[in-house]
Structure formats: C-alpha cells, structure tokens
Amino acid sequence: MSASLKSADKSLDITIMGRTYKVNCADDERDALLEAVGYLDQKMGEIKASGRVGSLERIAVMAALNIAHELLVARNSNTQPDVQAAGNGFDMAEAKRRMRGMQAMLDEALAPQDKLFE
C-alpha cells in the first residue's frame, strides 16, 4: 500500500499489547488484517508471559522472528511436490501480497511512534 490512500481504504483502530494504532485498510482486507492482528497479539502475549523479554520493542522483534520462522517452514514444506499435489489450497503468492500490504499498513501506523524514540 502506498502512502496515499485508495478510495476504498478506511481507517481502522487495532490494538496490540494494549496499545491502539490507527491503520488504513481496504474493506476487502479488513478480516485478514484483524486475523493478523489477533495472531500477532497472541504471539507477543506468549513472549511477554515467558518473562524473558521485557521491552515492547524486543517482544515485537521476537514475535516477528517467530512468525517469520513459521512462514519459512510453511513455505519450505509447501514447495515439496507432494504437498502441492495434495491441493492444500494455500496460495503463497497471495499470502506474500497480503503480508506486504499489511507490512506497509503497519509501517504507516507505527511511523509516529518511531519519533518517540528519537
């Protein structure tokens, strides 16, 4: 997603680890974004509950690493011929496109928070 808003984009408040962020999201990607937010919040909560990581930034980085690892494992297992032949319905190109869109939305939403740490 670019910095300029598409006409179908709407502002959406999301909450991760008790902090609310405003993001822009196309109507047709709203459910996927909310699912991703829920998943990220769950992962970050698990890391926080372990007590080994303190700051929100470190929790976010650890969650990102865990999720990236899960993605790579899924992608690598999806490239096996027998997995693709089974027709599991997972479209990696679509997943990547949606992740890029969500990353752009999160980057846009988090930009004001970055200024707090300068």
Tell me the domains of the chain and their CATH numbers: 9-117 (3.30.160.880)
Alpha helices in the chain (DSSP H): 30-50, 56-78, 81-85, 92-114
The model's pTM is 0.59
Residue 118's pLDDT is 58
What's the rounded Cα separation, in Å, for the pair 20 and 24?
A: 13
Q: Which residues contact 5 (CB under 8 A, 6 or more apart)?
A: 24
Question: C-alpha angle with apex 37: 32 to 39, nearest 5 degrees?
Answer: 95
Tens place of pLDDT per residue across the chain (118 aa): 333 444 467 899 999 999 999 999 999 999 999 999 999 999 999 989 988 777 888 899 899 998 998 988 888 876 654 444 445 566 777 777 788 777 777 777 777 766 666 5
- Rounded Cα–Cα distance for residues 73 and 89 (Å): 16
